[in-house]
Amino acid sequence: MNNPIEHPEQPAGSRIDERAERIKQATSNAVASTKETVERTADTVEEGLHRATDKAADAVHKASDKAAHVSERSREVYDETMDRADAWLEQAREYVREKPVQSVAIALGAGWLLGRILRR
């Protein structure tokens, strides 16, 4: 009673071919599905990398602009400081030309005071 039902109209070789074809089709479907999943994942990763690259490039541009601004401002401050130092030096020269004796006396007094401070 537990006899498997055989299809007398189909020989065994034909059934094997049919099953092999079904396995082949299932394998092809699995490969196609996996390929689509991998392609979608690759696209997602690529988009993420592009966004990250764009953000990094933007940050680099901002940092570069900021560095250029700081450099320019530093140059301006340096130039202003040098101009002030030149002006003070010119004022000191004019004072020495106008009052040479007082200038020597001030220099001697400042030297003596500095010497006393540094000896302690």
Judge whether residue 1 has pLDDT over 50: no
Query: What pLDDT digit, counting tens, does each position of 66-88 carry?
Result: 999 999 999 999 999 999 999 99
Query: What is the full DSSP assignment across 14-40?
Result: HHHHHHHHHHHHHHHHHHHHHHHHHHH
pLDDT for 8: 52
Whole-number pLDDT of residue 78? 96
Dihedral angle computed from the Cα positions of residues 104, 110, 112 and 115, in that order, rounded to the nearest 10 degrees: -140
Q: pLDDT of 20-44, one tens digit each?
A: 888 989 898 888 889 899 999 999 9
Task: Look up the pTM and report it.
Answer: 0.46
